[in-house]
Structure 1
Amino acid sequence: MNKEEQVSVGFRDLYNKIVRLNKDKMEDSLKGYKPSEVHCIEYIEKNVDSNVTRLAESFYMTRGAISKLTKKLIQKDLIESYQKSDNKKEIYFRLTEQGKAIYQIHEDLHSEFQQRDKAVFEQVTEEQFDTMLKFVDKYNRHLDAEIKKLGVDIKSE
């Protein structure tokens, strides 16, 4: 196996292990909520004036799929929609109190997982972090270009 394959397999293995380690605790703490719902709640809390288009772009989903998801979250009283007085056309989302509670549970779990893995990250030098971040950024830009080549335009779907 060459180094490129080793990196790809390594990323997949890391991702799968993280998911497996976190899965049970996430599911127990966030019973009744799908991962897509929790991640949508997280995005809305962290991004002011979230709307269907921004959510679709962020999650690489169609606007139709995001509309269904946000309707479910509204029905569950986790988010609410609003409009700005200067733009009655656009609909934005914000968390309700119940949505904020789910967001906080999710954040607390992430902090707990970060603490669990802290011993590894404490051993990484600034230079190593910079190298990894440059690689991740370069790979992300490559994948964005590949998505664009396919003509995948989430805004119009």
Structure 2
Amino acid sequence: MKKDITSSNNSASRNLGRLILQLRRLERQPQTFGGAGSVTPSEIHTIEAIGCEGSVLMSELAARLGVTKGAVSQLVVRLEAKQLVKRTSYPHDSRGILISLTDKGKEAYVAHEEVHVRFYDQLRSQLSEQEVETFDRCIEKLNDFLQQN
């Protein structure tokens, strides 16, 4: 009995390791989203964190992404060069900087959302509704666990 549990744990550990390697591989590959041209995963996740509606303070964007203001500033410079975001002064505090998506950035945002929709459509075509719900709960728990560590 103990051998079966150890074997199962080893298999789960290998599968998780393979998943992490696949995610790392995907995180290094730029993709094209709409008319935005080549966009890195960190850039598209920044666009996603800004959101399609309104603006976000640079400090709030750093908090949403869980990175430093300096790291966000570098990302924003790259996204500005690609004409995907724009900066404006915060009207209530001259030290604050608002970041918002340009029309081209909004197009990339929508195209990225469509990738997620297609992923779940493919998932639903291969799994039962109960399996999809279980998958969602497992991903949520894994995210919670990783945020704690």
TM-score, normalised with respect to structure 2: 0.69
1:103 and 2:103 are equivalent in the alignment: no
* TM-aligned CA distance change 1:43 to 1:99, over 3 Å: same
1:45 and 2:51 are equivalent in the alignment: yes
Paired residues for 1:1-157 under 5 Å: 1=6, 5-17=10-22, 27=31, 29=33, 31-45=37-51, 49-118=55-124, 119-120=126-127, 122-124=129-131, 128=134, 132=138, 135-136=141-142, 138-143=144-149
Instruction: Say which SS state the counterpart of residue 95 (structure 2) adopts.
Output: strand
**Is the Cα contact below 8 Å between 2:88 and 2:99 reproduced in 1?**
yes
* TM-aligned CA distance change 1:81 to 1:31, over 3 Å: closer
5+ residue gaps, structure 1, are 144-157
Which one has more relative contact order, counting CA pairs under 8 Å at least 6 apart?
Answer: 1
Shift of 1:6: 4.3
CA root-mean-square deviation:
3.5
Shift of 1:79: 0.7
Shift of 1:114: 1.4
- The equivalent residue for 1:151 is none
5+ residue gaps, structure 2, are 1-5
Aligned identity (percent) is 26
TM-score, normalised with respect to structure 1: 0.66
**Is the Cα contact below 8 Å between 1:80 and 1:96 reproduced in 2?**
yes
Instruction: Say which SS state the counterpart of residue 94 (structure 1) adopts.
Output: strand
